[in-house]
Chains A and B, each alone.
Chain A
């Protein structure tokens, strides 16, 4: 079922939904693709028009999903984009097999994943991501009365803890590695976004029974075939808490595989974009977490800007410039506040596994000079996750540039790969990224 559109949007989280909706409302033929069984991305996962439970984000989802449904946009879910075999074409795979879609303009909104850092015991069943455990619960995992420790770093800790408690769990502790001083600085900066502070305070209010340990971090997970307890430290004191689940992750990192594959230039860990969200590749826009971890509001603003720009409606795109600046600065302050502390580099022991797919240990890696050498000698990052988990860990632990973006960017069936019509690789033409014109001249 090969087909062709004016605008193709990859990723149906808030960023992709906003982009696809405004472009389709402008009259363009738009196709929105997502690997998940339904739209919504990470934050709106599991919500549907039937959702009746009180949910902070359900209001926005209701508005945007209704707008999307009325926009005339073609929506395809359960479709994973795995390759860009030729200019203007994407290759995908779904339960129905392989497919290709052609586009005039492309908007990427592939979101972020959690950053996992290895510590002894992190491979035990029962140790999950923070958003990871929340996602499993949203997809039916029963955690009623289970004891859960939520740890790592970032605003997701409080949001997830509140959601886990609402699902009936006993949240034993929330363990934030960031030092108190950094958290205070962040809160002061966030005064520019009072509504985000209120949201954070509300999550905390709903989890008051759990101790909130700022400046503490997990040093190991203990157990035989499953996590039974977790050991924490704050640099001076050590403590072990019994638990059924340990949800532990260190903020988020963007899913850069597709932008990299398409030749977008990356700056300081994110896709470099201009003030209209256009990447260094002409006709290719990137939005949401790809250009800075800033949450739903940032994704909605970026998405609309890119959607308007891709549809040629530059005035409407420019009208959102002030909001764009506001959320970009919020994203930067999140990154500053929730940087993993250096002590976390000392957590893995020689036997601690760093690459979970290929069982490669810290001992196997610590003496390597770079990611390439590590891959060659140990198969680190060559397993089925293609370095998505160990790459971010290796960047932090060893200071390597662990980027990878080889097609297919997700494992695919042989039949899907064989059917791909791959043209010879052409160097991607790079455009100069224009800084934002100053507010007076942009006609705001």
Chain B
């Protein structure tokens, strides 16, 4: 399968992902949690469908975006919360 690769920056680290990859999937593959809870514990995607909000993070400067609902786009900057 010849899939197009897209460059994204996750917490400042450049990586290539296949076209069609959600931001939540990319962050998980980068080995990062999506956010830290009120008590400082790492959290990651739970529902995968936009209802639990565990995957919220800052995407292209906009905070609290649901990463499981957004596809990676070339040059996207993702910062986990």
Contact = CB atoms under 8 A, between A and B. Distances in A.
Contact of B49 (A37, A135, A356): A135
Contact of A139 (B20, B37, B39): B20
A139 B71 CA distance: 8
B15 interface: no
Given A384-B53, A385-B51, A140 B38 contact: no
A37 B69 contact: yes
Chain B at the A interface: mostly helix, strand, loop or mixed?
A: loop
B17 interface: yes
Given A139-B22, A141-B28, A384 B56 contact: yes
Interface string A112-141: 011010000001011111011111110111
Given A36-B69, A125-B44, A384-B64, A139 B49 contact: no
A383 B53 contact: yes
A142 B29 contact: yes
Nearest to A48: B20
Interface residues of A, number: 39
Contacts of A411: 53, 64
Contact of B25 (A113, A141, A358, A359): A141
A389 B49 CA distance: 12
Nearest to A137: B25
Contacts of A137: 25
Interface in A133-156: 133-137, 139-142
Most buried by A among B21, B48, B53, B56: B48
Interface string B48-71: 111111101000000010001111
11 contacts: A37-B69, A37-B70, A125-B43, A139-B20, A139-B25, A139-B71, A141-B28, A142-B29, A353-B37, A356-B43, A359-B38
